[in-house]
Every structure is written in structure tokens, then in C-alpha cells.
Amino acid sequence: MKKTRVTLAVALLVFGVVYLVFAVSRAEGIVYKKVREIRAENAARDAGRSYRLTGNVLAGTIEHRLDKRTVVFTVKDEDGETMPVMYQGTVPDTFKDGAEVVVSGKYDRSADRLEATELLTKCPSKYQGQANPITAAQRKLPPSNASAPSNR
């Protein structure tokens, strides 16, 4: 009798946890989409959901607007397609032309722009494989360093 009570409580707890994990991850998950897919999903009407877009900051497009906290730039995804992004907030230390970024937020149809609420930059260690002592010597500048956590 006592044993069934304990088993029942454990089963209930486990069931509750699994439900919680499922429900919250469904509700909080943000999909990764490419530029083309984001535009397609919102072509007819506002899809109303948030996206994560991975790509590189197109060189020369970073523009600080109004005050320093709003930054507008263009992200180029792996297919080479581009989308403007507006982000409000302080940018991470590693945010610059060409940086690999993940931006998350809603898509604004009328402006064809991603209103990002989150901006993550990948760290410079991405260059580890490309670092090369010869080009470094030519440039009189050592290439980027390797394997380091980046600022966020």
C-alpha cells in the first residue's frame, strides 16, 4: 500500500515534468529560418511568430540610428540572400562587419525587416582553421586567435 503511494507520487512527478518540458519548449522555441523562408511565410499575411536568422553582417551596412542603442544592419544568410535587421540594445563587443550573428525577433512585413530582440555574435575562434602563419607574416599582423569564448 505504502509502496504504491510512493510509486504513484513518483509517476505523477515524472509525468508533470515531461508535460512541463514539452509544453514550455513548444511555447518558447524559436525557429531557425533562412531569409527566403521568412519572406515566404509572411508573404500573404503576418505569420506572427518569431524567427532566428543566422548569417554574416554585410560589410558597410552597420548604421547606428537615432541614438547609439538602435542599430540597423543587413544580414546575409548562407544562400547569399539579405535582410535588414533592426536591433535595440547594446551590441556585443564582437559585433562588426562580417561577424557571424544570430538575430532573433519578429518580422515586420511593411518594412521588410527583422525586428530583433536578441543579437548573438559568434566568437572569433571561427577563424581558427583559417589562421595562417604565411598570410600573417605578409600582413605584418598575426591572424586572429583561436578557441575562445566570445562576448555575447
State in angstroms the smallest separation of the CB of 90 from other proteins: 5
Q: At closest approach, how far in Å is the CB of 2 from other proteins? A: 6
Which candidate, 36, 41, 30, places its Cα nearest to that of 80?
Answer: 36
Nearer to other proteins, 45 or 68 (CB): 68
Burial group, residue 85, by CB count within 10 angstroms (0-12, 13-18, 19+): buried
The DSSP secondary-structure symbol of 58 reads: P
Residue 152 makes contact with other proteins by CB under 8 A: yes
Render the burial of 45-63: b for 16+ CB within 10 Å, e for the rest. Answer: eebeebbbbbbbbbeeebe
Q: Which stretch binds other proteins (CB under 8 A): 76-84, 107-115, 128-136?
A: 128-136
Provide the binding-site residues for other proteins, judged by CB under 8 A: 2-3, 5-6, 9-10, 13-14, 17, 20-21, 24-25, 28-32, 52, 54, 67-69, 90, 92-94, 96-97, 102, 104, 118, 120-129, 131-134, 136-137, 139, 141-152
